[in-house]
Structure formats: structure tokens, C-alpha cells
């Protein structure tokens, strides 16, 4: 009997967790497991804001895929997926095509610009390791250039962050720690630097506990961060952004800035929209067992999946915590299908949420308990280390973990 081929697209939290669980549970003679990813490394996407600010190096936020997969059970292909045809059970890459018996789509997120003019051309996005490095280098270039100019252009030292959601706030927290270091390194007076967060929504961290949000805004304000809430960006240019400050047509303000970082929304991978699977903004409203509607052999997990929290009738947020749990259940369900057994329903086990405000500060709710400051920061690092442990065990945790916890 021919061994089934399990094709996993993407080595993010969900995809890698699926593969790690499959290789633990299946023998080499039970299935052909194939993992396709455009890089030979996995990066911790929840750490990208640190790499973008320069508080961690790009090398610190990534590790080799080969270090956590069993090459006797898993075939890894470094290639970029260019097309998915679920009717023909075929996946195209820049290096060739692949057929499958079971498909796992875990391709991760893409930045969402909401059609704002100039944003994709002039704003930087915390999208991946390379983009994070670009942001860090660009920001340092602005500081270095200002320090050598005969006629100083202070707008070089203005940093605009679009979005006051999770990513935006965590990035602002890192900037609060990193900017003083840059000022010292490049002899820049701190008073010359402006960090401005622009958010279209009427609040910071929507959905988070208001008391904790107030703490976060106060702490970031003490680090020099300004907030402009309820002021959407309407256009980005080579020199800055235009924001809408009121209801009138003329209520537009232009803010000149040397660095503009967009952190105000994500969508699923655009290949989903071309795959033949019903979707909304490249996210698939999956069945309870994580399969795509109408396709019993296709699973969609991570940022490409959409699940409704029926208690509040809103989608679950696309978090690493949920993606890893999905990877675990996805692997179990594929094994059940191979063995002719029924699949299980995915029920998120939400243990809490922690938002960092820099290396030594954070806010969070863990097991229904509110945390701030160093206690929340400690918990954030433990969550990060646990994710490493679940994928690569003690060895990976020791190598890449965060142990500056005091």
C-alpha cells in the first residue's frame, strides 16, 4: 500500500509544530512528510519587534529548521510556494511542483495596508527577519546621518509607528529602550527625537483590559512616546505621512519623518485567494477540525485560518499560542484520517496574553490574573521559552531562550 504524502507549507509556529508532532507519532514507513519553506530557518515572529528596534539581532530571533526536524522522517525543501491548486491536489513552487494526499497550509501573514496610498512604497513593515533588519538599519542610518550633517534635519529623528495594536505597542516599548542607546552612540540630544504612534481606532490595544492599557500608555509616555489616537493615516510619502485630524476635508496634517513603520494590520497569504478555497482577506473560516470547507484533505492553520469565538462572536486573534495549539491538533487529525479514525475538534486553550513594553516591563492577563511591570515581563519571557521548548526541547531552549529575567 502506497504511503500517503503529507505536504506542509510554511515553517512558522503552526507549520513547524505540525511537523514536529507528526515526526514524533509516525514511523518513516507510515507516511512521507514534506515541509516546504522559502527559508532554511524558522523565525520567532513574536520577537520581530525586538529585531526591528535593534534590541535583539536578527540571528537571535531565528534558528535552523534542520535543528528541529528528523531528516529520516521529514523531507525539507527550501523553496517558495507560488501556487496552490486544491482541486488537482498540486502545489507549485519556484523549484517545481508537488502532489499530496494531505495538505497543511500554514503560510503565515502578510501586511495589510487597507489601500492607503503610498503605504506599501514608503512605509516599512515588521513582516519578517529581513524586514526587521531593514528597519533597524534604516533607523540607525537616520541617526548617523543627522550626526554628520552640517545643516541638521531634525525630521530624520522622527519615528512614526502606525498602529497601536499588539505589534505596534511592543515595538514602541523596544524603541523606548533602544533610542536612548542610539542617542548616546551618535551624540544625538534626546530632546531632538520624536516617537509618535498614530492609530485610526479610538483606543490603544483594543480588547485589552482598560486598566492595563492605561498603565502601558503611561509607561510608554514616560519613555517619550506620543500617541495620536483616532487619527487615521490617509497617505504615506517619501518624506512622511498625512493623517486625518477631523471630519472636514481640510482636516489633514502632514508629519515629516525619517522613519515610518507600519504595524496596523495583517492578512493571510495572498496565495489563499488564488487556491480555490473560500476565504475572507486570505483567511479561511475552517471547520471545527481545522479542515477547509469542501476539502477533506486540506488543513489551514495559523494566520491563514479564521475561527470564531462563539462566546463573543468575534474571530480568535491570530496568535502564536493558538497557531501552536492548532499544529498539535492538526497533526493528530491527519494521523486519525490515515488510520481511518474520526478527527477531533480544535478548542483553543487560552492561558492568557502578555504584551511587552520593553525588556523589563510588560502588561498581561495570565490565568485571569492581571500582571504589570517585571512580573509580567518575566511571564512574557517564560512564554517565549515555552514555545522554544515545545518545538526543540531543552537544547533549543538553552540555545535561544531568554534568561535575562531579573
- CA 68 and chain centroid, separation: 20
253 is written with which cell numbers? Answer: 496634517
SS (H, E, C) 124-170: EECCCHHHHHHHHHHHHHHHHHHHHCCCCCHHHHEEEEECCCHHHHH
Residue 371 near residue 361 (C-beta atoms within 8 A): no
- Can 170 be counted among the known catalytic residues? yes
Residue of 44, 50, 110, 170 with catalytic role: 170
- C-alpha cell recorded at residue 225: 512616546
Contacts of residue 239, defined as CB under 8 A and 6 or more positions apart, other chains included, come to 155, 256, 257
For residue 373, what are the β-bridge partners?
none
3-state DSSP helix/strand/coil % of the chain, to nearest 5: 35, 25, 35
Q: Of 192, 199, 191, 147, which is closest to residue 172 (Cα–Cα)?
A: 199
Taking the chain, what is the end-to-end CA distance rounded to the nearest angstrom? 56
Q: Which residues are catalytic?
A: 170
Amino acid at each position: 500500500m502506497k504511503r500517503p504524502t503529507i505536504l506542509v507549507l510554511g515553517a512558522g509556529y503552526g507549520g513547524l509544530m505540525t511537523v514536529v508532532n507528526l515526526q514524533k507519532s509516525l514511523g518513516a514507513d507510515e507516511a512521507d512528510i514534506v515541509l516546504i519553506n522559502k527559508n532554511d530557518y524558522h523565525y520567532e515572529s513574536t520577537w520581530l519587534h525586538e529585531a526591528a528596534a535593534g534590541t535583539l539581532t536578527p540571528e537571535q530571533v531565528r534558528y535552523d529548521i534542520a535543528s528541529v526536524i528528523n531528516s529520516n522522517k521529514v523531507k525539507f525543501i527550501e523553496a517558495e510556494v507560488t501556487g496552490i491548486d486544491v482541486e488537482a491536489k498540486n502545489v507549485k513552487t519556484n523549484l517545481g511542483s508537488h502532489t499530496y494526499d494531505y495538505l497543511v497550509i500554514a503560510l503565515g501573514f502578510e501586511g495589510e495596508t487597507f489601500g492607503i496610498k503610498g503605504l506599501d512604497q514608503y512605509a516599512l513593515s515588521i513582516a519578517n527577519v529581513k524586514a526587521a533588519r531593514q528597519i533597524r538599519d534604516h533607523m540607525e542610518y537616520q541617526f548617523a546621518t543627522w550626526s554628520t550633517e552640517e545643516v541638521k534635519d531634525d525630521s530624520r529623528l522622527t519615528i512614526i509607528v502606525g498602529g497601536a495594536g499588539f505589534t505596534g505597542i511592543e515595538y514602541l516599548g523596544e524603541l523606548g529602550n533602544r533610542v536612548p542607546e542610539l542617542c548616546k552612540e551618535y551624540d544625538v540630544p534626546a530632546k531632538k527625537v520624536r516617537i509618535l504612534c498614530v492609530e485610526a481606532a479610538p483606543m490603544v490595544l483594543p480588547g485589552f483590559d482598560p486598566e492595563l492599557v492605561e498603565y502601558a500608555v503611561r509607561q510608554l509616555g514616560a519613555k517619550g512616546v506620543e500617541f495620536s489616537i483616532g487619527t487615521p493615516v490617509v497617505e504615506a510619502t517619501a518624506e512622511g505621512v498625512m493623517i486625518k485630524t477631523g471630519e472636514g476635508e481640510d482636516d489633514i496634517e502632514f508629519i515629516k519623518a525619517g522613519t515610518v513603520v507600519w504595524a496596523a494590520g495583517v492578512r493571510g497569504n495572498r496565495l489563499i485567494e488564488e487556491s480555490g478555497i473560500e476565504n475572507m482577506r486570505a483567511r479561511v473560516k475552517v471547520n471545527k477540525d481545522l479542515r477547509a470547507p469542501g476539502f477533506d484533505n486540506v488543513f489551514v492553520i495559523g494566520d491563514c485560518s479564521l475561527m470564531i469565538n462563539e462566546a463573543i462572536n468575534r474571530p480568535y486573534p491570530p496568535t502564536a499560542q493558538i497557531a501552536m495549539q492548532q499544529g498539535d491538533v492538526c497533526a493528530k487529525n491527519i494521523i486519525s484520517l490515515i488510520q481511518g479514525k474520526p478527527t477531533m475538534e480544535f478548542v483553543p486553550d487560552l492561558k492568557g496574553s502578555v504584551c511587552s513594553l520593553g525588556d523589563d516591563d510588560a502588561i498581561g492577563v495570565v490565568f485571569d490574573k492581571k500582571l504589570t511591570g517585571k512580573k509580567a515581563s518575566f511571564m512574557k519571557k517564560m512564554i517565549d521559552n515555552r514555545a522554544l521548548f515545545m518545538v526543540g526541547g531543552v537544547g533549543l531552549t538553552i540555545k535561544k531562550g531568554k534568561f535575562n529575567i531579573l
